[in-house]
């Protein structure tokens, strides 16, 4: 008989602090990422939040995903933002997105018109795995399965070209890594007249240091792309041809592979046919493996418009480990590269910065151009566990727990000091802390 695991007092206290962060970010039935900077519901944030709640509050975890999918578009698109009523502070808000131009937009919900990485099936499966009320979990999965299938179906129907199964992103925000150097060349090729960019006023710089946020140069291009989507009424076919930004992103597709595997697991539990989801996973995994960069022992994004690989190397190129894509030999080379670029935090762990510190563009506090992001390192942690690198995984786990323990629950952290930056009281940092605290040691869930 398995003995209950007793958490050390410090871990129990940290877990209570993390739960308090989630509760403080509650808005109605869902959880916002942070009180000021992100006051609405974000798609992949909610998936991680559900995983954080999974061991502690099953109903909250299930509700987080149910409410998100209630705003799903009729063509299966899962929007990256669902706007809360009565909070008009955020830019771009519903009036900027104008999704009502689309025949597919949902009735009764205000949303954005783009997507984020599809980790939702993984979140739903984790909620089921840790459920104390098994009947409720099965009812939850039964309701969510067709919506998850429609979400993945949208990606394969509207976002792939050819037979390689690689989904495209059409906006940097769809990657979840907004201003990563991965997008510099693609965004730099977007040329327009001043009148081509709709008027806007940034709000993000009012709640955070300007030096830590994307530039106005970036935001002009972000807004230009949204206007393009509006002008095409969010119809995928003309956008696919007209959008100057089209990238087959490694992280997005690695998450898609694993989510397909978890969607298949959900189908099997419910007695449904899992074969279509396994086929999707196999197809995308094979396509993703084709993005292998042997020279740098990593995976490289593919710039569709440029017709070749993106030259920038970031920690996101290692995320196929999370999905079990590389061979053991390739995985070993990737882990060696990770260890060579990782940064030690304190005396018992290391983390991967979003951009290597030896890259001339590295800035330790500038959003996705250097800081340590818990979400990215969580993916790498699971990748290391998957390939049997448990000691290395344990070090990432320890570091990810120690960062908020000593520096608070921030959006991201300076890899050189461990100091938190970006949004404060950040929900997914709290959620991932709860998830990692639920593991006794690397790969052994309690």
Name 3's Cβ contacts closer than 8 Å, sequence gap at least 6: none
Nearest partner of 418 among 350, 338, 362, judged by Cα: 350
The b-or-e profile of 45-73 (16+ CB within 10 A means b, else e) is: bbbbbbbbbbbbbbebbbbbbbbbbebbb
Whether 216 sits among the annotated catalytic residues: the reply is: no
Name 58's Cβ contacts closer than 8 Å, sequence gap at least 6: 127, 130, 131, 132, 133, 136, 137
Per-residue tokens: 341: 């670029």
CB contact at 8 A, 251 and 243: no
Q: What share of the chain is helix, strand, coil (3-state, %, to 5)?
A: 50, 10, 40
- Give Cα 164 to chain centroid, integer Å: 22
Give me the sign of the Cα torsion angle 45, 46, 48, 52. Answer: positive
From 11, 158, 178, 289, active-site residue: 178
Between the alpha carbon of residue 102 and those of residues 43, 81, 237, 359, the distances in Å are: 20, 16, 13, 41
Per-residue tokens: 64: 């987080």
From 45, 402, 411, 424, active-site residue: 411
Nearest partner of 416 among 368, 361, 346, judged by Cα: 346
Whether 178 sits among the annotated catalytic residues: the reply is: yes
Could you list the active site residues? 178, 411
């Amino acid at each position: 008989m398995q003995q209950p695991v007793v958490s050390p007092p410090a871990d129990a206290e940290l877990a209570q602090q993390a739960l308090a962060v989630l509760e403080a970010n509650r808005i109605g039935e869902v959880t916002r990422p942070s009180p000021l900077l992100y006051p609405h519901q974000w798609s992949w944030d909610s998936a991680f939040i559900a995983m954080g709640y999974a061991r502690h509050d099953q109903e909250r975890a299930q509700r987080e995903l149910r409410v998100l999918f209630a705003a799903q578009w009729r063509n299966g698109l899962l929007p990256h933002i669902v706007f809360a009523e009565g909070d008009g502070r955020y830019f771009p808000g519903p009036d900027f997105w104008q999704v009502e131009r689309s025949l597919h937009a949902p009735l009764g919900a205000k949303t954005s018109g783009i997507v984020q990485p599809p980790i939702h099936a993984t979140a739903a499966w984790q909620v089921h795995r840790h459920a104390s009320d098994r009947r409720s979990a099965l009812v939850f999965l039964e309701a969510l399965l067709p919506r998850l299938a429609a979400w993945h179906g949208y990606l394969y129907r509207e976002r792939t070209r050819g037979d390689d199964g690689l989904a495209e992103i059409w906006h940097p925000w769809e990657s979840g890594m907004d201003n990563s150097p991965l997008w510099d060349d693609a965004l730099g090729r977007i040329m327009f007249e001043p009148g081509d960019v709709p008027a806007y006023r940034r709000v993000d710089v009012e709640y955070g240091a300007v030096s830590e946020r994307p530039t106005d140069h970036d935001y002009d291009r972000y807004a230009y792309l949204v206007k393009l989507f509006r002008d095409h009424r969010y119809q995928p076919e003309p956008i696919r041809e007209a959008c100057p930004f089209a990238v087959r992103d490694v992280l997005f597709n690695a998450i898609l592979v694993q989510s397909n595997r978890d969607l298949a697991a959900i189908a099997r539990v419910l007695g449904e046919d899992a074969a279509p989801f396994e086929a999707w996973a196999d197809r995308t995994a094979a396509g993703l493996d084709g993005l292998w960069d042997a020279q740098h022992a990593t995976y490289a994004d593919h710039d569709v418009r440029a017709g070749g690989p993106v030259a920038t190397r970031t920690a996101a190129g290692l995320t196929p480990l999370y999905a079990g894509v590389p061979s053991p030999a390739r995985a070993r080379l990737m882990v060696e590269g990770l260890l060579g670029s990782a940064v030690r935090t304190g005396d018992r762990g290391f983390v991967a910065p979003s951009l290597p510190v030896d890259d001339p563009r590295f800035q330790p506090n500038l959003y996705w151009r250097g800081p340590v992001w818990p979400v990215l390192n969580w993916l790498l942690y699971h990748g290391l566990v998957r390939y049997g690198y448990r000691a290395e995984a344990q070090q990432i786990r320890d570091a990810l727990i120690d960062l908020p323990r000593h520096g608070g629950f921030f959006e991201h952290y300076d890899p050189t000091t461990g100091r938190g930056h970006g949004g404060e009281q950040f929900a997914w940092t709290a959620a991932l802390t709860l998830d990692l605290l639920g593991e006794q040691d690397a790969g052994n869930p309690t």
